[in-house]
A and B are shown apart, each in its own frame.
Chain A
Amino acid sequence: MSTFAAPAVRAEPGTSGSGGRSGPVAWMAAPALAMFVAFAVVPLLGVLALSFTSWDGIRDITPSGLNSWRAVLTDPQLPHAIGVTFLIMALSWLVQTPLSLLIGVFLAGRQRYRELLAVLYFIPLLLSSAAIAITFKALLDPNFGLGNGLQLAVLQQDWLGKGHLAVGVVVAVVSWQYVPFHALIYQGGVRQIPDSLYEAAQLDGAGRIRQFFSITLPQLRYTIITSSTLMVVGSLTFFDLIFVLTAGGPADATRMLAVDMYQRGFQATLMGPASVIAVILVLIGLGLALLLRRLGGGKPDDSQLEGV
């Protein structure tokens, strides 16, 4: 069910921003639109309908009004799951953004060794989340893992068995996986900044650090917004990685909304309440995407290249 949320949210900026004036262009959108309606809008409406019913997956679906909503909204597990979701979201944004920004700026240089490094950095992105989770789980195993193998006291922690450590591990693994992707976005962004800006700055006697903060960073404003939107909204749907790595544990320390939804729906066979969580996930995703667009919006007429 987590898959419904993602496309609905990601498509959001596109639909509101399209002009739709010329005929052929609108036609070309038709297949995509048909797919979107069939695989995102229709299931979404289905989930909304299911949230007002009670269903265990086997018996008949019976309407139950607001029962599921009442059950979920009064369950202390909901604020906890939302809290964990936002905690992991915020931490992974805080870790990923500076890292991928710096790596992206570094990789934007045209030197040979940097291109080689760019290829190496890209590797984590090629691996599936489940494979990454299994690998890290084995490395962090408290008895047969890396820490015990190397006999290093620093590594001999109960990484996935203590709540705060487990959250840290999840953030670290997520960052390891996605920093390359965002570095790639930033690399592209940096390469689009006109050289003339840097030349002018050099003439005015600006050093490298000054150039970074006065030219690179402001010029990357929209890139930062794009990358942050992907990070924030994407982190709502982390499921596979967490489910394999910690299964939401220890106890419920890493049980994000998506994991909570799965456990309610497919393990406790309460499809109604699980659908309620799915709807909440979609709403949070839409809200965040809109908020980020507002933050990065400014006036549409503004140019980043004024005076160049």
Chain B
Amino acid sequence: MNPSPLSRRSFLSLVAGTSAAATLAACGSSGPSGPGSGDAGAADYWFLSGQPQENIRAGAVDRFGKANDNKITSAAFPNDAYKAKIKTALGAGQAPTIIWGWGGGGLKSYVEAGQVEDLTSWFTENAAVKDRLFPASFGPATIDNKIYAMPAETVQPIVLFYNKEVFDKAGAQPPQSWADIMNLVQVFNTKKIAPFSLGGQSRWTNMMWLEFLFDRIGGSEVFQAAFEGEKEAWSHPAAKEALTKMQDLIRADGFVKGFSSIAADTNADQALLFTGKAAMMLHGSWTYQSMNTDGGDFVSGGKLGYLTFPPVEGGKGDPSDTVGNAGQYLSISAKASAEQKATAKKFFQSGVLDDTEIQQWIDSGAVPIVKGTEAKLAASTDAAFLKFIYDTASGAKVFAQSWDQALTPTAAETLLDTIAKFFQLSIGPDQFIQTMNGTIGK
């Protein structure tokens, strides 16, 4: 047996294979190079995929391109992939001109890294752009009294949804106070219906409960202190009370059996509500759209009820306060060329939330963050719900940001982790407070 010709041939084929693989790898990494390539004037814009939002976003870009010489190229990515991609792109100095985001702690980390433009003076010069939007929407865009993002799209407060049919059958009334909630838990448990649906595996779903309890018991300043990095802020007596009430509700079987393994991305938590297996659900207003699509005649048949989280007896919080997403946010990359920045600013001025886009958001069942849309909202097929969301958002004394978006990513991860353990009852209020105090300043 003489192995040498064979081994040489296989060696060559190996080399060929390897170089082919290397070429492929090179293609892969150079593929999605957006910025830098092409002409320097064209701005680019990355946002989230998923209908109906994706088409509305892309439509605004198209109309802007047709009306102007300056073009914007856009690309859409799924939520989780986008979060990772935008971070990597920013770290590598390859960010798009217009960065879509959630504001708050994430935006703050971009600001501290010097990656996004300060838009404060631009908004002073273009007061008209600022004045037509809900003032509350600027909260998450503002870091250290400077505005780093243009608020856009829709307002999404957290709402207490309930199934009217289930309530009628049980002869129950929607809760007007925390005591009502605890009573309803008993009523529905004896009827073998889960009082509250909850997608607990997603963790931020549990967090919405604490956001409201903290606010209703101690007022918005309790979390604000923690957000501002005040030492031992979580030791506020209202925090302890809210946390104790929370665990009382969990111990009373307030949530559907197995809630800690239900993920919100599967919409199983919404399915529990519209199939009548659960009576109530605390969730973002965006679930209205998906329940409308998935729930048969649940929404169109008027079986979906909604109200703002009720007050807690003896609490200091304003019952009009709400929590959620005050908008979505567009920032401009500091690394973009002057021409790209100019295009982006022009887009902010004339492209974002034009009349067509406003109408499209309303048709999709959401409230755009523009003032004075009452007439358009009233003409919609979802008029009652849209009016409720509009009133909730515009009438809120404080429209607080979701905690996980307000905090820095590091503190947010500890918060979510601690909340998961807390809802599993593996830690108590004191340990929760101690762990969260440890994150202050991080």
Contact = CB atoms under 8 A, between A and B. Distances in A.
Interface of A: 24-25, 27-28, 31, 34-35, 56-59, 137, 140-144, 158-161, 163, 166, 246-247, 249-252, 263-264, 266-270
Central interface residue in B115, B259, B412, B424, by most chain A CB within 10 Å: B424
Contacts of A266: 84
Interface string B107-119: 0011011010000
A141 B275 CA distance: 15
Nearest to B427: A251
Contacts of A252: 417, 420-421
A268 B413 contact: yes
10 nearest CB pairs, A to B: A142-B258, A160-B261, A268-B413, A251-B424, A161-B261, A251-B421, A59-B113, A158-B258, A250-B260, A161-B260
Interface string B235-269: 00000000000000000000011111111000010
Contacts of A140: 261
A159 B260 CA distance: 10
Contact of B409 (A142, A144, A247, A268): A268
Contacts of B421: 251-252
A35 B19 CA distance: 11
Interface in B118-170: none
A36 to B, nearest CB: 12
Nearest to B80: A266
Nearest to B14: A31
A58 B90 contact: yes
Interface stretch (B3-11, B27-35, B349-357): B3-11
A158 B18 contact: no
A141 B262 contact: yes
27 contacts: A24-B11, A25-B7, A27-B11, A28-B10, A28-B11, A31-B14, A34-B18, A35-B18, A56-B410, A57-B91, A58-B87, A58-B110, A58-B115, A141-B262, A142-B258, A143-B256, A143-B268, A158-B261, A161-B258, A166-B261, A247-B263, A249-B420, A250-B260, A252-B421, A264-B413, A267-B409, A269-B87
A143 B261 contact: no
A112 B273 CA distance: 52
A27 B87 CA distance: 41
Contacts of A25: 7
A24 B7 contact: yes
Q: Please classify how large the interface on chain B is, using the bins under 10, 10 to 19, 20 to 34, 35 or more.
A: 35 or more
A249 B268 contact: no
Contacts of A249: 201, 260-261, 420, 424
B414 interface: yes
Contacts of B409: 56, 267-269
Nearest to A255: B417
B277 interface: yes
A167 to B, nearest CB: 13
A251 B417 CA distance: 7
B98 interface: no
B84 A270 contact: no
B15 interface: yes
Contact of B268 (A24, A59, A141, A246): A141
A266 B84 CA distance: 8
B199 to A, nearest CB: 11
Contacts of A163: 424
Chief secondary structure at chain B's binding surface: helix
B271 interface: yes
Contact of A144 (B84, B91, B109, B268): B268
Given A24-B7, A57-B88, A144 B260 contact: no
Contact of A142 (B91, B109, B262, B424): B262
A216 B262 CA distance: 46
A158 B256 CA distance: 11
B424 A268 contact: no
Nearest to B88: A57
B272 interface: yes
A137 B409 CA distance: 28
A141 B258 CA distance: 8
A160 B87 CA distance: 31
A263 B261 contact: no
Contacts of A251: 260, 420-421, 423-424, 426
Contacts of B259: 161
Contacts of B262: 141-143
A268 B256 CA distance: 29
Question: Which of B15, B262, B271, B412 has most A Cβ within 10 Å?
Answer: B262
Contact of B261 (A24, A27, A57, A142): A142
A31 B261 contact: no
A260 to B, nearest CB: 10
Interface in B380-425: 409-410, 412-414, 417, 420-421, 423-424
Q: From A57, A158, A166, A263, name the one whose CB has the most chain B CB atoms within 10 angstroms.
A: A57
Contact of B201 (A57, A143, A247): A247
A261 to B, nearest CB: 13
A144 B270 CA distance: 12
A156 to B, nearest CB: 9
B426 to A, nearest CB: 5
A56 B408 CA distance: 11
B331 to A, nearest CB: 13
Nearest to B114: A59
A11 to B, nearest CB: 17
Give the most central of A56, A143, A159, A161: most B CB within 10 Å. A143
A143 B423 CA distance: 19
Contacts of A161: 200, 257-261
Nearest to B426: A251
A22 to B, nearest CB: 10
A28 B12 CA distance: 9
Nearest to A169: B261
Given A58-B90, A143-B256, A158-B261, A269 B201 contact: no
A69 to B, nearest CB: 17
Contacts of A34: 18
B221 to A, nearest CB: 27
A288 to B, nearest CB: 28
B414 A268 contact: yes
A59 B257 contact: no
Interface in B184-200: 200
Nearest to A55: B91
Nearest to A247: B201
Contacts of A246: 201, 261
